[in-house]
Copies of this chain bind each other. A is one copy, B any other.
Amino acid sequence: MNLLYDEAIDGPLPDIDRPALIKALREAAPGAALLHEAEQLRPYECDGLSAYRTVPLLVVLPETAEQVQAILRCCHRFQVPVVARGAGTGLSGGALPLAKGVLLSLARLKRILEVDPVSCVARVQPGVRNLAISEAAAPHGLYYAPDPSSQIACTIGGNVAENAGGVHCLKYGLTVHNVLRVDVITMDGERLTLGSEALDSPGLDLLALFIGSEGLLGVVVEVTVKLLPKPEVAKVLLASFDDVAKAGRAVSDIIAAGVVPGGLEMMDNLSIRAAEDFIHAGYPVDAAAILLCELDGVEADVAADCERVRAVLINAGAVDCRLARDENERKQFWAGRKNAFPAVGRISPDYYCMDGTIPKRALPMVLEKIGELSEHYGLRVANVFHAGDGNMHPLILFDANQPGELERAEEIGGKILELCVEVGGSITGEHGVGREKINQMCTQFNHDELETFHAVKFAFDPDALLNPGKNVPTLARCAEFGRLHVHHGQLPHPHLERF
C-alpha cells in the first residue's frame, strides 16, 4: 500500500516558487502567522495516523475568516494545494500534509461567538474544541452531543470535515445530525452559508454534502451547532455472555424492544482481559463477550428502561447482568471500554485498528469470519465495537519486528474491509477515508459512482487544489489498485484526473 501522495499515480503537482509564495501570503494576510523553518514545520508532518509523515511546504495560522479568505485567494493564484487542519487528531490521515502544499491550521480561530439557550444553538469558530462547546453551554443545562474519544482535544472544524461520531451517536447522531449551518470559504475565496437554523433548508442539501467531505470542498470558518438538554441521569448495565453470537443477537433484541440506549458497546474476551488487566474495571474475565448498555434521560424513564433492557438481556442468554451501583462504578465500566485500545497496546508490540461498518444482521457471521482469518494468518484479533450501530473496531495484534507480520496484518485488515462491503456495509464507520482507506474506495464504489464524486468535487474546486489525494481516489489510482474497469485505457474526464 502506498499511502503518501504519489505524483506518479495521483498526478503531478505544480512546482511552487516558495519565496514568492511566502512574500505574497505575508502581504495578503499580514495578521496570520507563517511558519517556514524546518523545525517549525516538523510538528505538522502528520496527524493521528502517525505512520505516515510528510513535511509541508509552509504552515499558515490565520486568526480571522477574512485572513482565511485572503490566504485561499493567494494560494489559488499560485495554484498551490491546501490541506486544512484542526487539532490533528484524525485517525485516517485526512490532514496529512503535501510536500508541495500549504498546511492551513485553523487552531487560532477559537472563539465561541454565541450561545443561545432559547433556540438551543451555539455559533463557534472552527478551532473551538469539541468539549469546550459543552463547557460553554453547561451553565444553561445544555451540551453538544457528538463525543469522539478525542473530544478533549479535537476541534469542531475537524469534526465537520470528518463527520465525527462517538459512543453516544446511536441515540444522538453524528456531526451531520447536530450541525445546523456552516460558513465556508471556497478555494477561490468565496464565502458561502450552507444550511440554516431550520430543520431543513431549501435548494440542494449542500450542508450535508459538506459535512464529512474531508477538506475537499472548502474551509469551514464558522459552525452553528444544535445544543441538547443534559440528560438528568445515566445508568449503565454490564451483561456477560458465554458466546459472542448471543451477545450480537442481544444487541438486535434491545433495539427491537423499542429502547434507544445512549451507548451500546461490545467487547470480546481478548479485549475484556486486556482492559481488565490495565484498568481493573470490574469486568468478568471469563466471559466470551460483554455488552455495556447506557440508558440516559429523565430519572423515571431511565429506571423503567433499565428493567426492560435487563429482561431482554437475560432472555437473550446473558449469564450475568448488573447495573453499575453508583456513578463511580459507571465511570469505571466506561473507563475499561474507552481504554481498550491502549490496553491492547500493552499485550502486543503493535496493533492495527480497523473501522468497518456492517448491517446488524451480519454481526454473528462477520465475527465468525474474523475468527477464521485470525486463525489462518496466525495473528490475534481483539474485537471492540459500537455494537448498536454496527461500527466495528477489530484490533489486529502483530509485532512489526517479526518479518512478514505487518504485511499479514495489513492483509487481514484489507480482507475484513472487503467483507464489510460484501455484506452491505462500508469501509469506514467514523474515522473517515483520508489517506488511509483511499485504495479501498475503489472496492466500495464503481466507476460511475467515483466519476460522480469527481464531478461534485469539480463543482466546488475545479483546479483540485483542496486536499488532493484524500477521501476520493483518482480514477488512475483505482486503475492501479482497485478493481476499476478502465474502458480501452481511457479515463473519461482528462481534466478530472488530478483529483
Q: Is residue A298 contacting chain B, with contact meaning CB distance below 8 A?
A: yes
A425 to B196, CA, bound (A): 6
Give the oligomeric copy count: 2
- The minimal Cβ–Cβ distance linking A461 to chain B, given in whole angstroms, is 10
Closest residue on chain B to residue A259 by CB atoms:
B298
Residues of B within 8 A of A212 (CB): 200, 204-205
Q: Is residue A455 contacting chain B, with contact meaning CB distance below 8 A?
A: yes
- The minimal Cβ–Cβ distance linking A467 to chain B, given in whole angstroms, is 12
Question: Quick check: which of A36-44, A169-177, A262-270 contacts chain B, the rest being far away?
Answer: A169-177
Interface centre among A231, A259, A449 (most CB of B within 10 A): A449
Residues of B within 8 A of A111 (CB): none
Q: Is residue A384 contacting chain B, with contact meaning CB distance below 8 A?
A: no
Closest residue on chain B to residue A199 by CB atoms:
B389
- The minimal Cβ–Cβ distance linking A162 to chain B, given in whole angstroms, is 10
Residues of B within 8 A of A460 (CB): 452, 455
Residue in B191, B197, B230, B448 whose beta carbon sits within 8 Å of that of A191 in the complex = B448
Closest residue on chain B to residue A462 by CB atoms:
B455
Closest residue on chain B to residue A473 by CB atoms:
B203
Are A200 and B426 within 8 A (Cβ)? Answer: yes
Closest residue on chain B to residue A304 by CB atoms:
B300
A361 to B357, CA, bound (A): 39
Residue in B209, B437, B471 whose beta carbon sits within 8 Å of that of A206 in the complex = B209
Residue in B206, B259, B449 whose beta carbon sits within 8 Å of that of A452 in the complex = B206
Q: Is residue A459 contacting chain B, with contact meaning CB distance below 8 A?
A: yes
Are A455 and B448 within 8 A (Cβ)? Answer: no
Residues of B within 8 A of A190 (CB): 448
Residues of B within 8 A of A258 (CB): 229-232, 297-298
Residues of B within 8 A of A231 (CB): 258
Residues of B within 8 A of A437 (CB): 202
Are A174 and B200 within 8 A (Cβ)? Answer: yes
Residue in B191, B308, B389, B425 whose beta carbon sits within 8 Å of that of A298 in the complex = B308
Are B472 and A200 within 8 A (Cβ)? Answer: no
- The minimal Cβ–Cβ distance linking A208 to chain B, given in whole angstroms, is 3
A259 to B390, CA, bound (A): 27
Residues of B within 8 A of A425 (CB): 196-198
Closest residue on chain B to residue A252 by CB atoms:
B118
- A 386-420 binary contact with B (CB < 8 Å = 1; else 0): 00011100000000000000000000000000000
Q: Is residue A310 contacting chain B, with contact meaning CB distance below 8 A?
A: no
Are B192 and A448 within 8 A (Cβ)? Answer: yes
Interface centre among A116, A216, A359 (most CB of B within 10 A): A359
Interface centre among A174, A300, A305, A471 (most CB of B within 10 A): A300
Are A206 and B456 within 8 A (Cβ)? Answer: yes
- The minimal Cβ–Cβ distance linking A406 to chain B, given in whole angstroms, is 24
Q: Is residue A445 contacting chain B, with contact meaning CB distance below 8 A?
A: yes
- A 346-390 binary contact with B (CB < 8 Å = 1; else 0): 000000000001111110000000000000000000000000011
Q: Is residue A477 contacting chain B, with contact meaning CB distance below 8 A?
A: no
- The minimal Cβ–Cβ distance linking A473 to chain B, given in whole angstroms, is 9
Q: Which of A29-78 contact B (CB under 8 A)?
A: none
Residue in B304, B432, B459 whose beta carbon sits within 8 Å of that of A459 in the complex = B459
Are B459 and A200 within 8 A (Cβ)? Answer: no
Residue in B120, B203, B430, B444 whose beta carbon sits within 8 Å of that of A445 in the complex = B203
A119-B359, A206-B453 as given contacts; A197 in contact with B424, CB under 8 Å: yes
A247 to B426, CA, bound (A): 45
Q: Is residue A345 contacting chain B, with contact meaning CB distance below 8 A?
A: no
Are A177 and B174 within 8 A (Cβ)? Answer: no
- A 90-114 binary contact with B (CB < 8 Å = 1; else 0): 0000000000000000000000000
Q: Is residue A193 contacting chain B, with contact meaning CB distance below 8 A?
A: yes
Residue in B169, B211, B391 whose beta carbon sits within 8 Å of that of A205 in the complex = B211
Are B449 and A459 within 8 A (Cβ)? Answer: no
Residues of A at the B interface (CB closer than 8 Å) are 116-121, 141, 163, 165, 169, 174, 176-177, 186, 190-194, 196-206, 208-209, 211-213, 216-217, 229-232, 252, 255-259, 297-298, 300-301, 303-305, 308, 357-362, 389-391, 424-430, 432-433, 437, 441, 444-445, 448-449, 452-453, 455-460, 471-472
A-B contact list, 9 entries, CB within 8 Å: A120-B255, A174-B200, A194-B449, A198-B357, A202-B437, A202-B471, A259-B298, A300-B301, A301-B301
Q: Which 6 A-B pairs have CB atoms at the shortest separation, nearest pair first? A: A208-B208, A300-B304, A455-B459, A198-B357, A118-B361, A229-B258
Give me 11 other A-B pairs in contact (C-beta within 8 A), A198-B390, A200-B428 excluded: A174-B199, A186-B448, A197-B425, A199-B389, A200-B426, A202-B444, A203-B441, A203-B471, A204-B212, A204-B217, A455-B458
